[in-house]
Amino acid sequence: MVDAVVERAPGARGKTPRRPAKRPNAALLPVSGRGSFWLYLLPGFVLLTVIVLVPLVWNVYLSFTSYRGIRPPKWIGLDNWTKLFADDKFWTSFGNSVAMIVAMVVVPTLLGLLLAAMLFDLIGKKFGGRLASFLRATYYLPQILPVVIAAIVIGWILRPDNGALNTVLKAVGLGALQHNWLGNPDTALASIMVVMVWVQLGYPVVIFMAALQRVDPELYEAAELDGANWFQRFRSITVSIIRPEIFVVTLTCTIAALKVFGPVYTLTRGGPGTATIVPSYYSYSEFFQSQQVGYGATIATALTVVIVAVAILFIIAQTRAERRENER
């Protein structure tokens, strides 16, 4: 009966079922064919080993030694780690890293979302895509500049005597607000935070505007016909669709904030006092200024552990968010 039904089924007459194509057995391939693709991966593995893995293992080893860079390292066990957890300067540096996360992650991401949505949804529609592209490039310009050069220019602007900022304040009658912006512990960290917001803002704007290209314009039109204002469309459509890009920007910017070095080194050298010190600069100063290589390696290893832990937490959060989105 089953065979008869199959024979009478429309479209089945005269056709024989196709058999899946047999894949070549890897055991029958020549040895040169099976292993040749490893030759393309070999340069990457060599560079990864030499540039990343070997220095990482050596750094971790040095964190358990007393080493000044001249005599061979002396094993001291957990002494450096015990010292690290009791070091107030180390915890101050991590507190300043939290401020850098605010300046390089929270503020640029929120402003980048708003600016990207405005450039794409408002300016792009009313004034054309050329103006939106020009403004996008303008926001991204600080990312093109080398960090050290940008920091030197900002240092000139914030000079206490003849800096551009104090000169402008004096010219407009606000001479009372003149200040040693980078030399005062109360304003040094805030000044660097403002600089980092300016430097970092263009990155999320570019990423989010690229992500908005895959949003269906009909969604905005349908929401507008339903009476939704711009902010409601932004919250319900824009943010929900480009959520993967938001995770990527947040993760990469958080890693950059935790290991920021150039602006602090160029502008303040961690000062005045410990007002702007961050873990990367603290590790550098222990390596090259105090010649406490073992303790500097301990700081660098602790920073690496924190960055890896943050990356894992972000990936877990993104995976759970995508899973909840797929279950809806």
Helices (H) and strands (E) in the chain, counts: 20, 2
Torsion, Cα of 52, 58, 62, 63 (10° steps): 50
Most confident of 100-104, 182-186, 230-234: 100-104
What is the rounded average pLDDT of the residues 129-144? Answer: 86
Rounded Cα distance, 303 and 280, in Å: 8
Six-digit token string for 175: 């001479």
Do residues 263 and 182 lie in contact, with contact meaning Cβ atoms separated by under 8 Å? no
What is the rounded average pLDDT of the residues 98-119? Answer: 92
Residue 27 is classified by DSSP as G
Angle at 175 between CA 169 and CA 178, to 5 degrees: 75
Closest C-alpha among 85, 90, 65, 94 to residue 77: 65
- Between 12-16, 176-180, 249-253, 291-295, the lowest mean confidence (pLDDT) is in 12-16
Predicted TM-score (pTM) of this structure: 0.82
Rounded Cα distance, 311 and 241, in Å: 22
Do residues 282 and 263 lie in contact, with contact meaning Cβ atoms separated by under 8 Å? no
Q: What percent of the chain has pLDDT over 90?
A: 44
pLDDT at 35: 62
What is the rounded average pLDDT of the residues 262-267? Answer: 91
pLDDT at 25: 52
pLDDT at 197: 93
pLDDT band at 32 (very low <50, low <70, confident <90, very high): low
